[in-house]
Amino acid sequence: MTWSPETGSLDFRTLHAAYRAGTLTPSKVVEAVYDRIAARGADPAWTLIIPRERALAAAAELEASGASPDSHPLYGLPFGIKENFDLAGYPTNNACRASEYLATETDPIVQRLLDKGAIAIGRNNMDQFGMGVVGVRTDYGIPSCVFSQDHISGGSTSGGGVVVAAGLVSFALGGDAAGSGRVPAALQNLVGLKPTNGLVPLGISAAGMGASHTVLTLTVEDNVHAIRQLIQHVEDDPLSLPEAASFDLKIDPLPESFRFAVPSKGSRLFFGDQAAEALFDAAIARLEGMGGTAVEFDYAPLHAAAKLLYEDAFIARRYANLRPVWEKCGDRFHPATREILSWGTRYSGADVFVAQYKLAAYRKIAMKLFEDVDVMVTPTTPTTFTIAELEEKNIERNAIMGTYTNFVNLMEFCALAVPNGLRPDGLPQGLMFIAPSFQDNRILGFGAAYHRALGLTMGATQNPLPH
């Protein structure tokens, strides 16, 4: 089948197969990408688009070098970069105009992707400083869901979710410090992995401590392929783990039979969204049909743990990470960002220790659960909102969107968000597979099998999953 410049899939397998067959070149793909961006028109998903000629020059250089998908795993794959990663020669602003500076060096995370053959197309909008999972806390216009211009895109990797789902790039580099990669994946019919903390180094991103850098992709296989290029142990990175040096990220086979934990009907939270709840019930039935046995548990302790991230002393970590820029221009932050970060000044060292004790108790509950099940399964988000609804109650509704994602980061678990179908109004919802640290391959196996069983087209494109 001939690849179409207008609608041809940008998933890794499709492009690499065409490159190997000689029916397509990176230059032709880049030309098509820029034509698609132009056809889409003004789009706040981008804070900056690299000039077409520069991207074409990078593609031509790649072709002339004799490289291939075999020598360069990300060969010829166009990608977007979240606005908090430095790219030399371009401004970095973290979606806050007052904090903008000209980057003089490229973040090592970005450089690894470039070195592996990926081609940068532009920089993507975000929730300011990664503070949010909704995509509306920005000085650069609000990206909307590809499936509905009235609804939020999800954040903080908001623009990245939009450009992947719209078929403008193969993948988008982002972060996930509280669900920032998984929430936009859920709302854009995409895949987002929050890997075990410490497998991917911090780089020099202002996302700072506690973040797991990630990518948004069309398929689970693509996500694994990209993140494998980022996993490494960096000696002078205080949170980089030695285990990263030998960790082999891959998709484990789905067991013939398995047990999976799901929030009980009495403790699950959908905030009145019956359509989202129906999709989750359908997911449980689908997993049972795949050989699973559902085991209900009380989600209340994990929801309490999730609240610790922004509603208790753990917010002091975000304040500590951003204190220099807060002191420089905090008065010009987005109102919601400013309000939340100010909470970090209220807590003492003793408060932080008390919060850590609470978290340790909640984590023991979760770990006890994993003794009886292979994986935990929850919705990625309990619902979604229009942009107007979110702006009306910004902080409150942002917290709702992080109901199922926040505790994962605090407990240093790994989690994978995959599509879980469309509500009757056509809006996507996601499903999340969760496991303790270093069990990434297990959840990838569950997620990949589930995504294939679901059978949806990829993102907002009409392209089916590749064979």
* Catalytic residue flag (residue 328): no
Q: Which residue has the tokens 């979760």?
A: 366
Q: Which of 329, 437, 279, 281 is nearest to 98 (CA)?
A: 329
- Say how far apart CA 417 and CA 216 lie, in whole Å: 10
Q: For 453-464, give the DSSP string.
A: HH-PPSTTSSPP
Q: Which of 193, 214, 198 is nearest to 247 (CA)?
A: 198
Q: Which residue has the tokens 């998709």?
A: 251
Catalytic, out of 9, 99, 153, 156: 156
Q: Is 463 left (phi over 0), alpha (psi -120 to 50) or beta?
A: beta
Kindly tell me the sign of the dihedral angle through the C-alpha atoms of 256, 373, 187, 158.
Answer: negative
* Catalytic residue flag (residue 156): yes
What is the phi/psi pair of residue 119, to 5°?
Answer: -120, 120
How far the first Cα of the chain sits from its last, in Å, is: 13
- Say how far apart CA 277 and CA 430 lie, in whole Å: 11
Q: Which residue has the tokens 């999976």?
A: 260
Length of the chain: 467
**Cβ proximity of 188 and 165 under 8 Å:** yes
Catalytic, out of 27, 99, 170, 180: 180
* Catalytic residue flag (residue 180): yes
Catalytic, out of 9, 82, 116, 358: 82
b/e sequence 142-161, b meaning 16+ C-beta within 10 Å: bbbbbbbeebbbbbbbbbbb
**Cβ proximity of 148 and 180 under 8 Å:** no
Catalytic (active-site) positions: 82, 156, 180
